[in-house]
Every structure is written in structure tokens, then in C-alpha cells.
Amino acid sequence: MNADAEGTYLPGALQNLDDAIQGLTAPHTRLHRAGSASQIITKPSVYAEMIESVQGAQGSALGGVARSMPPIWVDGVDWISKVDNAVKEWWPARTDTLGRLEQMVAAAWRPQDTEFIDHAATSIMKWTREAETLLNGGREQFSTCGERWVYRKDTLGENVRTPALTVTSMGCSCRACAHHWGVEYFDHLARVIGAVGDVVTDER
């Protein structure tokens, strides 16, 4: 890629990096189920939720109280180690992973850094997908809140089941929790869904 092309692609690459970091570190909603009841709760971030889950599995989240869980959540620990080590290699500042990612977003990048920025954004989005799968018990999550279906009244006033996700030219939205994904996430959502029939196109 020549210098002119790199300069042209740099703004888009930076936006993708910012979006990827937000996906990993920004507050997000999750559906919490307790018996027959459920509610949408806000979590600090996917990264923080992984830390919390590892600490909980080790009992440290409850002051060291023993719990009926394995002494260590190996997959979670491996994920955190992978993320922390990679981010430290990218940005070896004397701070934690979240601080390094914040500094990466705010940095004055050069056009010739575009290839690295693309690599970093792709890696971070992959980590977020992996974390969501781990937090969802090894199953890829259908949407942010985990709901696949919602119930809406039809023209006759009857409740009918309809897919939670709707797709327009502006992106994809979840009717259950109102989360929105830009068009750049379509490929990932298609892989997660695994069936065209689970998505409703709505141009309104």
C-alpha cells in the first residue's frame, strides 16, 4: 500500500479501532436470568466481566468464600493472559490493559501505521467474540441480551413471536434490548445466527 492510500484509509482504520476497543471496554447490557424471572442489567465492560468471572470462580469475588465451582477457570484465565500480553506488546506503557487501550485510541497515528491498526482492531473484535462465547457457557451469543425472539401484537391485536434482530441499511438492532450493530458487524452476526430466517429485514 503506498503512502497516499495509507493516508486515505487511516481515518477508517482509526474508527474501526475505536469501535473495537469500545466493544471490549465500554458498558454493555446482558440478560440476567434467575429462575423464571429475568432482567436486563448493565455490566462495566466485556473485559471487566471476564475479570469478574475469573475472580468469582476462584472465590476472590466473595472475599475468599468457598464456592461450588472449579478452583480456577482455565479458559477465562487464558483469555485474560492472551489479551493482557498482546496489548502490552502493542503498547508497553506503565499502566493496565484498559489504560493502554485508551492511550492507543488517543495516540497520534501515522498513515504508515494503518496496517497495524487494522490488525489490532481485528484482534480486539475477535477477543470480544471469544469472551462473549465463554461468558455464555461456550455458546456464541445470539445478541447482546441473549434473546432470540420477542413477542409483538399483530394487526389483530394478538401476540405473535418474531425474531429479535431486525436489519436495515443502517445496521442491525435487537428489539429485546435495543442494542445496535453497524453494518461492519454483519458478517459476524451472520456467523453467530447461522440461519437467514432468524433475521428480519425492516426498512422502516
Do residue 42 and residue 130 come from a single domain?
yes
One-letter identity of residue 84: D
Do residue 113 and residue 157 come from a single domain?
no
Residue percentage of the chain with pLDDT more than 70: 64
Does the structure show a pLDDT above 80 at 142?
Answer: no
Residue 90 falls inside a structural domain = yes
Do residue 37 and residue 116 come from a single domain?
yes
Question: Which secondary-structure segment (H or E) carries 33?
Answer: strand 28-34
Q: Give which of 115, 53, 112, 113 is closest to 78, Cα–Cα.
A: 53
Helix axes 114-135, 46-57, angle to 10 degrees: 40
pLDDT in tens, 102-126: 999 999 999 999 999 999 999 999 9
Q: Are the C-beta atoms of residues 100 and 86 closer than 8 Å to each other? A: no
Do residue 154 and residue 86 come from a single domain?
no
d(CA 23, CA 180): 12
- Provide the number of structural domains found in the chain: 2
Q: Are the C-beta atoms of residues 177 and 32 closer than 8 Å to each other? A: no
pLDDT in tens, 63-99: 444 444 445 678 889 999 999 999 999 999 999 999 9
Task: Give the pLDDT confidence score for residue 178 in this predicted structure.
Answer: 74
Do residue 115 and residue 158 come from a single domain?
no
Domain of residue 102 covers: 3-135
Residue 140 falls inside a structural domain = no
Helix axes 3-25, 114-135, angle to 10 degrees: 20
Kindly provide the b/e burial profile for residues 7-25, where b requires at least 16 CB atoms within 10 angstroms of the residue's own CB.
eebbeebbebbebbbbbbb
Residue 94 falls inside a structural domain = yes
Facing residues of 34 across strands?
37
d(CA 178, CA 172): 10
Do residue 186 and residue 92 come from a single domain?
no
Which of 20-24, 50-54, 132-136: highest mean pLDDT?
A: 20-24
